[in-house]
Amino acid sequence: MNLVSPVIVGIIYCLLMSLIREPHRRHFNAIMVGGAGAAYLSGGGFGPWEVPFVALMAYVAYRGLDSWTFIGVGWLLHTAWDLAHHLKGYPILPFYHDASLACAVCDPVIALWCLRGGPSLIEVRRLREGGMKRVWNKSESTGN
């Protein structure tokens, strides 16, 4: 399995989420992590233990409505669940053996972004460009 592709998918996810303004970005991501918690439910790889995990992720997602930290923790919990499913041989996509491993590589990328507060990666670039223009214009006006 190529480990670079899942990292790229995680970065693309964060970039796309940057198009959503706050607080909607946080709310949407809380819903996404809640949905991720139920991703393995129909596969039943861990039998009845799938249900408490879904309940835990629902709680974490609910708390994530007000906290990027909880959303980040949710993605890390999902990473652990991905690894457990990969090791047991019950991938998230039954037709692709390494699907859970790929998910376990992608999810921490998203988690790190969430733990940083889910900043808009697009606005950061705009601020840097705008800030450089202001610095440039200031030096032109002072003659420095």
Distance CA 25, CA 62 (A): 14
Look at the pTM and tell me if it is higher than 0.95: no
Distance CA 57, CA 92 (A): 16
Distance CA 7, CA 14 (A): 11
Q: Under a CB-based contact definition with an 8 Å cutoff, are residues 58 and 34 in contact?
A: yes
The pLDDT tens digits for 45-96 are 888 999 999 999 999 999 999 999 999 999 999 999 999 999 998 888 888 9
Q: Provide the CA 43 distance to its chain's centre, in angstroms.
A: 22
